[in-house]
């Protein structure tokens, strides 16, 4: 497997929670699973670390970025500000090609909502916000958006896994807000785009505890045997 393919595979496994937040990434197992040697694997892990998917600590190796309570608190403090700024720029820089792309992605998102597929909703949502970031075209905000999208996409799979009527209502509201945001971009209405973006975040901000995923306990044979 080429390094680019391995990067994309691990990236999506992390985003889709196939690899749990905080999980240790065992190099031997990864090499065997993806048929690569350690040198290209380590290069991929360092690239993933540089983009925020993974953290690498001396003498402890690599692990998937956490979604513990501290991370989620920082996320919800920062995300609305960054997304609102991006929405303003996206409305100012809107163009027909990007608007068309957003409507195509939103069509897929709505189909996923109707089918009740949380993972497909999360992936479409990721693409939607990534495209809004592309339209904003800010060299300063784009890196922050890409880092936020890692936790946003992982968090989204919990948000979209509706367990009751209230949660289903929130999903439908989010879907409608997407349409309204795209309309605001097309109309080049920055104020409306920012208001909708902040309303969009309010749907999940008061439920932060739902998205916390404590890091897995390390596997320690000595402790396991003693239990």
May I ask the CATH architecture of the domain 3-66?
Answer: Orthogonal Bundle (1.10)
Sorted by where each begins, the domain ranges of the chain are: 3-66, 69-210
> What's residue 223's pLDDT?
41
What average pLDDT does this structure show over 122-130?
A: 97
> What's residue 209's pLDDT?
81
Task: Report which secondary-structure segment, H or E, holds 10.
Answer: helix 3-15
pLDDT tens per residue across span 48-60: 999 999 999 888 8
CATH class of residue range 69-210: mainly alpha
pLDDT tens per residue across span 88-107: 999 999 999 999 999 999 99
Mean pLDDT estimate for the chain? 92
Q: Enumerate the β-bridge partners of residue 61.
A: 57
What average pLDDT does this structure show over 55-73?
A: 92
Model confidence at 224: pLDDT above 50: no
pLDDT tens per residue across span 141-172: 999 999 999 999 999 999 999 999 999 999 99
What average pLDDT does this structure show over 191-198?
A: 98
> What's residue 58's pLDDT?
86
Q: Alpha-carbon distance 212 to 102, whole Å?
A: 29
> What's residue 226's pLDDT?
42
> What's residue 48's pLDDT?
97
> What's residue 199's pLDDT?
96
**pTM, to two decimals:** 0.88
Burial call 111-131: b when 16+ CB within 10 Å, e when fewer: ebbeeeebbbbbbbbbbbbbb
């Amino acid at each position: 497997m080429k390094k680019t393919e391995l990067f994309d595979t691990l990236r999506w496994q992390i985003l889709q929670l196939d690899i749990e937040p905080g999980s240790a990434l065992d190099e031997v197992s990864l090499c065997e699973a993806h048929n690569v040697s350690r040198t290209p694997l380590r290069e991929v892990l360092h690239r993933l670390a540089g983009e925020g998917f993974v953290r690498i600590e001396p003498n402890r190796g690599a692990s998937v970025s956490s979604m513990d309570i501290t991370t989620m608190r920082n996320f919800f403090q920062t995300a609305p500000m960054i997304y609102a700024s991006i929405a303003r720029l996206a409305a100012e820089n809107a163009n027909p090609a990007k608007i068309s792309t957003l409507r195509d992605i939103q069509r897929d998102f709505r189909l996923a909502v109707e089918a009740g597929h949380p993972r497909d909703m999360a992936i479409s949502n990721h693409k939607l916000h990534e495209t809004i970031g592309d339209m904003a075209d800010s060299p300063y905000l784009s890196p922050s958006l890409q880092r936020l999208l890692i936790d946003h996409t992982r968090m989204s799979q919990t948000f979209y896994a509706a367990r009751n009527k209230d949660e289903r209502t929130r999903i439908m509201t989010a879907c409608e807000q997407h349409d309204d945001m795209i309309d605001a971009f097309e109309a080049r209405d920055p104020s409306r785009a920012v208001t909708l973006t902040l309303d969009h975040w309010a749907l999940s901000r008061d439920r932060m505890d739902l998205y916390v995923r404590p890091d897995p306990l390390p596997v320690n044979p000595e402790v396991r045997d003693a239990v």
